[in-house]
């Protein structure tokens, strides 16, 4: 009996060692890499948060970052731990002239979109005329009622 008790303890220890190498060690390695990634965030990096928000880092602080989101360039502060991954590493501090050039390009694209909207509306205009064609048919159905009087 002493041999079987010793054998079960050996199997249990072996199982714990296997669990450590297959589960705990890789998880700690991933956690260390994630913390290093969050610590190395810099201005210009494009990130995805744990909530799925795609943003661009515009300012870094010790425990938080300020990010810019969307076409309206809304800025807000969030904690570093909420960053899921870095999609694209930025080039550090963005030169003011390149930001101005980007704004001019974005403004030009917005103007093109605004110009193109009325064209789309003109194409949709004949569809609006369709209910007007239905209206005379209703008037025809009312005429026999008037003739009975």
Place of tokens 């303890």: 9
Q: What is the pLDDT of residue 90?
A: 76
- Stretch (H or E) spanning 75: strand 74-79
Q: How does residue 66 score in pLDDT terms, banded at 50, 70 and 90?
A: very high
Q: Which of 91, 88, 6 is nearest to 46 (CA)?
A: 88
Beta sheet of 54-60, edge-to-edge order: 74-79, 64-69, 54-60, 46-49, 83-88
Q: What integer pLDDT is reported at residue 89 of this predicted model?
A: 85
pLDDT in tens, 87-125: 988 765 544 434 444 444 445 445 554 454 454 444 544
More confident residue, 58 or 103: 58
């Amino acid at each position: 009996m002493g041999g079987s008790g010793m054998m079960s303890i050996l199997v249990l220890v072996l199982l714990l060692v296997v669990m450590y190498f297959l589960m705990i060690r890789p998880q700690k390695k991933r956690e260390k890499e994630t913390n290093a990634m969050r610590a190395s965030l810099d201005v210009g990096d494009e990130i995805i948060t744990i909530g799925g928000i795609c943003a661009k880092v515009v300012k870094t602080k010790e425990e938080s970052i300020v990010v810019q989101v969307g076409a309206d360039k809304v800025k807000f502060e969030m904690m570093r731990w909420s960053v899921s991954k870095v999609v694209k590493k930025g080039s550090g501090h963005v030169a003011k002239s390149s930001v101005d050039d980007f704004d001019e390009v974005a403004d030009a694209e917005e103007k093109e979109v605004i110009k193109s909207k009325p064209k789309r509306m003109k194409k949709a205009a004949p569809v609006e005329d369709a209910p007007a064609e239905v209206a005379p048919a209703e008037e025809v159905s009312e005429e026999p009622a008037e003739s009975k009087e």
